[in-house]
Amino acid sequence: MSKQITFSIDGVEVKGKEGQTILQAADEAGIYIPRLCYMEGLIPHGSCRVCTVIVNGKPQAACTQPIAEGMTVENDTPELKEHRRNIIDMLFIEGNHFCMFCEKSGNCELQAVAYRLGILSPKFPYFFPKKDIDATHPDIFLDLNRCILCGRCVEASRDVDHKGVFEFVGRGINKKIAVNAEANLKDTNLAATDKAADVCPVGTINKKRTAFAIPIGKRLYDTKPIGSEIESRKK
């Protein structure tokens, strides 16, 4: 039985367990902190920075910061909302995201968080970069245009599937996902049943022949905004 820790989020008292991160404790308490790279079951990557909260006056990523007795967390403030919008904008403009004909539309976490934060179009200029696509694999299609470098596939493939199919290469704005082969995904041992094939929050890792099995309009975030599944836990 781990020790109970009491702290506050936006003035609301929250009880969590020792060893939990702010995000985990908030999720259990039914408080939604927007996030993108985080995925339950994987080691928090802390790279998207969408879950940035103010802890005792200092910015921290809620997905990596452990809770501590009496800490004060600010989450739903106009300033943080603006910072989060700016980050989401950045993710849109650094890639090529074509929601209107992306097969992930409606199930896409990036799109869903953008809608939830009230973004209709990015305020920064698009970079329109040239990115690679890889359709060589019989069952999986890779499109780096839509990658947000969340690291989920890297970790899932390394730590869950024990295959190391994906890894980051390059640095800075040229950082990207590469595959464990000379060039093509078909030369890796990735299988459609792998965890790594199931974790992509956007339309980068797509399973072939499944795109429109669920029609647009009936998808995960078509009816309820992202985060409402967490908020429904609120007692």
Partner 1 sequence: MSENLQSEIKVICQAYGNDRTKMMDIVLSVQQKFGQVSSEAMDLIAKCVNCYRVEVEGVVSFYAFLSKNPKGKVVIRLCNDVVDKMAGADAVADAFKKELGIDFGQTTNDGKITLEYAPCIGMCDQAPAALINDEVITYLSTDKVKEIVADIKKHYDPSKLKHRLGDGNNADDIVHSCVHNGIRKKGPVIFADYKKEAGLKNALAMSPVEVINVVKTARLRGRGGAGFPTGMKWQFTRGAAGEKKFILCNGDEGEPGTFKDRVILTERADLLFEGMTIAGYAIGAQAGILYLRGEYAYLRKLLEKILKERRDKNLLGNNIFGKKDFNFDITIQMGAGAYICGEETALISSCEGLRGDPKTRPPFPAQKGYLGYPTAVNNVETLCCAARILEMGAAWFAEIGSKGSPSTKLLSISGDCKQPGVYELPFGIKVKDLLKEVGAEDAQAVLIGGPSGQIIGPNDYNRTICYDDLATGGAVVVFGPERNLIKIAAEYMEFFVEESCGYCTPCRVGNVLLKKYLDKILAGKGEPQDLDLLQELGESIKTTSRCGLGQTSPNPVLTTLKNFRPLYENKVKKYPDGMQPTFDIRKALADAEKIANRQSVIYTK
Note the residues at the interface with partner 1 (CB under 8 A): 44, 46-50, 52, 59, 61, 64-66, 82-83, 86-87, 90-91, 93-94, 123-125, 127, 148-149, 158, 164-175, 178-182
Least CB distance to partner 1 at residue 38 (A): 12
| Integer Cα distance of 39 and 36 in angstroms | 8
Closest separation in Å from C-beta 68 to partner 1: 10
Query: 22: left (phi > 0), else alpha (psi -120 to 50), else beta?
Result: alpha
Q: Please, which residue, 107 or 188, has the CB nearer to partner 1?
A: 188
Write down the least CB distance from residue 213 to partner 1, Å: 31
Going by C-alpha positions, the residue among 112, 183, 191 that lies closest to residue 148 is 112
Evaluate whether 35 touches 110 at the Cβ level (below 8 Å): no
CA distance linking residue 56 with residue 58, whole number of Å: 6
In terms of CB distance, is 160 or 178 closer to partner 1? 178
E strand or H helix that includes residue 13: strand 12-17
Closest to partner 1 by CB, 98 or 127: 127
Report how far residue 16's alpha carbon sits from residue 7's, in angstroms, rounded to the nearest whole number.
8
As measured in angstroms, the least distance from the Cβ of 47 to partner 1 is: 5
Residue closer to partner 1 by CB (options 40, 182) is 182
